[in-house]
């Protein structure tokens, strides 16, 4: 290892939450010999996490299709013909049923996604009730509902939502090639609203959309600028869906994908880095390298919203082969947390009749 490489590693340990990464520094990490990069990422990972624990989430689409956004990677966009059948907002009872099944399968967090530009008021009331009831199952909760303003974020936080997912997707420079219906600043504003409301941030990006290496560096730079860093950073490999504009884009070299996982781990040492979409297309060796590079979160289950995901039995077999185990979450309540939960339960009664009325009318 050269003196320069040792200096980089030393700086990472001294600055656990750096927000001033330069593109030159990030590019230097990407340019490291693969073994050196993996070694550094693994050292950083072990300094902050159990190296063999993986946080396990399950993702459910609570409202599918007919999204007005034009994200070129997304089969749920109403702009493209992907043969995806649109579905209205799921009933609360079905969501809770899926949450219970996810917990039994070993998930500690339940993520719910709706194909909206932004939630409507009547939909938000139902979503708030979903959060309350899923939390009662004993799971952490996460939502991705599109853009939210300050008031909407505050309502979700009051309902008890733990995480809000809103990806930056790619670099500011490449963003316009992928999405035109909302701006990069729109995304950053939503993340700011989420943070201000007191929720944890889940934000990452998608690799393999035809971007350049510099765009991958710039994406990670933007994520690391967030203060504090996102608690969860999903790194997705593009799933090429027929009917979307990116269905024929050139595949990203898996080694370049692993490098991005490792650099994300080094730059955001206390964040959970999630090996997210694209695992269905990855062999066991690629996934093992991702865990070695510092990935310590996955989605468990058969689907990620609308695209395939390795089945639970396959994941369990891979965990056993690699000696990995699901990360445990603390479920004991403090007195303050218990008081807050009881107060929320009291509020539920106030909303109950309104929620029941809206459940009948919920539509796409």
From its phi and psi, is residue 248 left (phi > 0), alpha (psi between -120 and 50) or beta? alpha
Query: 274 among the known binding-site residues?
Result: yes
Of 90, 198, 191, the C-alpha closest to 148 is: 191
Q: Is 109 annotated as a binding residue?
A: no
DSSP element (H, E) containing 165: strand 163-165
d(Cα 212, Cα 214) in Å, to the nearest integer?
A: 5
Catalytic residues: 67, 71, 74, 111, 142, 202, 274
CA distances to 27, 39, 242, 273, 354 from 291, in Å: 22, 12, 29, 9, 45
For 141, the 3-state DSSP assignment is strand
Per the annotation, does 111 bind a ligand? Answer: yes
Q: How far apart are the first and last CA of the chain?
A: 56
Task: Decide: 130 and 92 in contact? Cβ < 8 Å.
Answer: yes
Is 108 in contact with 139 (CB distance < 8 Å)? yes
Sequence-distant (6+) residues with CB within 8 A of 251 are 208
Task: Please give the Cα distance from 134 to 325 (Å, whole number).
Answer: 23
Q: Say if strands 303-304 and 307-308 run parallel, antiparallel, or are unpaired.
A: antiparallel
Name residue, tokens 């990464």: 21
CB 41 within 8 A of CB 293: yes
d(CA 237, CA 244): 15
On whether 332 is known to bind a ligand per the annotation, the reply is no
Which of these, 86, 66, 89, lies nearest to 362 by C-alpha position? 89
- Binding site feature residues for [2Fe-2S] cluster: 111, 142, 202, 274
- Binding site feature residues: 67, 71, 74, 111, 142, 202, 274
- Binding site feature residues for [4Fe-4S] cluster: 67, 71, 74
């Amino acid at each position: 290892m050269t003196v320069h490489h040792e200096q980089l590693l030393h700086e990472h340990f001294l600055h656990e939450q750096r927000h001033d990464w330069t593109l030159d520094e990030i590019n230097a990490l990407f340019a490291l010999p693969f073994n050196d990069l993996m070694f550094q990422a693994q050292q950083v990972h072990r300094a902050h996490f159990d190296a063999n624990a993986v946080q396990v989430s399950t993702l459910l689409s609570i409202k599918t299709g007919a999204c007005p956004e034009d994200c070129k990677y997304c089969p749920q966009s109403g702009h493209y013909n992907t043969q995806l059948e649109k579905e209205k907002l799921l009933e609360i009872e079905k969501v809770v049923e899926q949450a219970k099944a996810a917990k039994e399968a070993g998930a500690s967090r339940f993520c719910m996604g709706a194909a909206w530009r932004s939630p409507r008021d009547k939909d938000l009331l139902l979503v708030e009730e979903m959060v309350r009831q899923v939390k009662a199952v004993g799971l952490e909760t996460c939502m991705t509902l599109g853009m939210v303003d300050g008031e909407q974020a505050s309502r979700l936080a009051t309902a008890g939502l733990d995480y809000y997912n809103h990806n930056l997707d790619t670099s500011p420079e490449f963003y316009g090639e992928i999405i035109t219906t909302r701006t990069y600043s729109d995304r950053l504003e939503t993340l700011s609203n989420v943070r201000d409301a007191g929720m944890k941030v889940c934000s990452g990006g998608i690799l393999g959309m035809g971007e350049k290496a510099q765009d991958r560096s710039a994406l990670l730079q933007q994520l690391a600028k967030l203060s504090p860093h996102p608690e969860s950073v999903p790194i997705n490999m593009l799933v090429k869906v027929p009917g979307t504009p990116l269905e024929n884009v050139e595949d990203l070299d898996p080694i370049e994908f692993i490098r991005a996982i490792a650099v994300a781990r080094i730059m955001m040492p206390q964040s959970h880095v999630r090996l997210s979409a694209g695992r269905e297309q990855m062999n066991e060796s690629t996934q093992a390298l991702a865990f070695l590079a510092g990935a310590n979160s996955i989605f468990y289950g058969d689907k990620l919203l609308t695209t395939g995901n390795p089945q639970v039995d396959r994941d369990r077999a891979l965990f056993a082969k690699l000696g990995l185990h699901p990360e445990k979450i603390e479920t004991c309540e403090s007195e303050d947390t218990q008081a807050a939960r009881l107060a929320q339960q009291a509020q539920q009664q106030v909303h109950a009749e309104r929620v029941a009325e809206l459940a009948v009318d919920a539509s796409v």
